[in-house]
Amino acid sequence: MTELYAIIIFLFVLFLLLGSSVWVGLALMGVAWVGMELFTTRPAGDAMITTIWTGASSWTLTALPLFIWMGEILFRTRLSEDMFRGLSPWMRFLPGGLLHTNIAGCTIFAAVSGSSAATLNMVGKMSIPELRSRGYPEYMIIGTLAGAATLGLMIPPSLTLIVYGVTINESITKLFMAGVFPGLVLAGLFMTYIVFWHFFGTGDRPQKEPSMSFSKMIKESLFLVPVMGLVGVVIGSMYLGFATATEAAAVGVVGALILSAAQGSLNWSTFSVSLMGATKTSAMIALILMGAAFLSLSMGFTGLPRAMAELIESYNLSPVALIAVLTVFYLILGMFMDGLSSVVLTMAIVEPMIRTAGIDLIWFGIFLVVVIETAQVTPPIGFNLFVLQGMTKHEIGYIAKTAIPMVALMLLMVVILVIFPELATWLPENIRQRN
């Protein structure tokens, strides 16, 4: 009964604080404080100070602000314009035409960003007006962009995977490796949907793009060289074992500064604005992680995570059934909370469950990201929907409808991961890396 009372109290205080518009990190600390005071004899203040300092001073967590800063720097360059110019000569021949630039552009920028919102802003600010001017259907422009932008959470460097790795004390580099193949498969599913629409969809098709000589195509492709070079250095240094995730992030920041300087985009204003933007985002995430660490400690004292794991075990659910239950759980939770908060809020309870069920923690991290990706484009709190609303001025309901096929494809990706878990586990198991 103690665990039942603990669950009721924890949930009541949590929703009370969140409903009062208290910051998520402070809400988690508040819930943990109440739990410590009611269910333990340990001084709550001492426990909080020790726990949040330990959680916030992790060396692994250093990669987080560095990758965020790299994305902020590149966001203020001409990268989106250059990417469209470099990709469009090769996308125009595919069924569905330049709609594929939404997918390819998001895939490339995801490899230097780590944030779905940044990916959406970066690619959308160039592709939306270009595709509109060429007569592509509005619902296809918005729908494909909404889905493809979520690749920022999957393809490394991923902020969500960094937070997940820190939360469960798992290798960030291994998690980054695990996200590569699933991210590419998901991008392939999105592009397949565009091809399917081209042959079987309703509505008018845009006019065929004018022909271009091969030499002109090669010349335009050179605009991709800077960003592809940065991707190769940052990701390659980790996968080849030359650098840890933190060291690769530092290299990425230097490379982004050099790239923006070469483009003429680097000045004191862009430098300071990007640094301040990265500081604000990093501070927000750090506060959430501090609250989550304190909440995990508080829950541990109550025995709640262990009791929940034993309860799930008593039902004798197979790993597949457990994954199905957790998929529904995270989809519902993601409709009301952002992805990072969903991860740190639940891992204290979910981690014992998946360990007991024998589910690989690396694989589960990728599964978790796919489900959180899905929640990014589902109402009422689908964050990418609000970003697109600000960019396109459409009603949120219309944007959500355009994203329905992409949601279905992301759920299909969950099924693919369950059937072929090697998509996520093969690379980290077979590539040497530094710890």
**DSSP per residue, 278-330:** HHHHHHHHHHHHHHHHHHHHHHHHHTHHHHHHHHHHHTT--HHHHHHHHHHHH
Q: What is the residue type of 323? A: I
Assess if residue 310 is contained within a domain.
Answer: yes
Assess if residue 435 is contained within a domain.
Answer: no
Assess if residue 207 is contained within a domain.
Answer: no
Q: How far apart are CA 384 and CA 373, in angstroms?
A: 10
Assess if residue 93 is contained within a domain.
Answer: yes
The closest alpha carbon to 288, from 349, 343, 364, belongs to: 343
pLDDT of residue 366: 93
Assess if residue 321 is contained within a domain.
Answer: yes
Residue 313 burial (10 A CB sphere; 0-12, 13-18, 19+): middle
Residue 221 burial (10 A CB sphere; 0-12, 13-18, 19+): middle
Q: How many domains does the chain have?
A: 1
Q: How far apart are CA 176 and CA 170, in angstroms?
A: 11
The closest alpha carbon to 317, from 362, 351, 358, belongs to: 358
Assess if residue 205 is contained within a domain.
Answer: no
pLDDT of residue 435: 47
Assess if residue 265 is contained within a domain.
Answer: yes
Q: How far apart are CA 49 and CA 71, in angstroms?
A: 32
Assess if residue 206 is contained within a domain.
Answer: no
φ and ψ at 263, to 5 degrees? -80, -5
pLDDT of residue 186: 93
pLDDT of residue 62: 76
pLDDT of residue 306: 64
Q: What is the residue type of 144? A: T
pLDDT in tens, the chain (435 residues): 555 666 677 667 777 776 677 777 787 788 888 877 777 777 777 777 777 777 666 666 777 788 788 877 877 777 767 777 788 888 878 888 888 888 988 888 877 776 777 778 778 877 888 888 888 888 899 999 988 888 877 888 788 888 888 888 888 888 988 998 999 999 999 999 999 998 887 766 777 767 777 788 888 888 888 888 888 888 888 777 787 778 888 888 898 888 888 888 788 888 888 888 888 877 877 777 777 778 777 777 766 666 666 666 677 778 888 899 888 888 877 766 667 777 877 787 788 888 888 889 999 999 999 998 888 787 766 677 777 887 787 887 888 888 899 999 999 999 999 999 999 999 888 875 544
pLDDT of residue 8: 73
- Per-residue DSSP letter, 202: -
The closest alpha carbon to 120, from 392, 369, 365, belongs to: 392
Give me the domain span that covers residue 40: 2-200+213-430
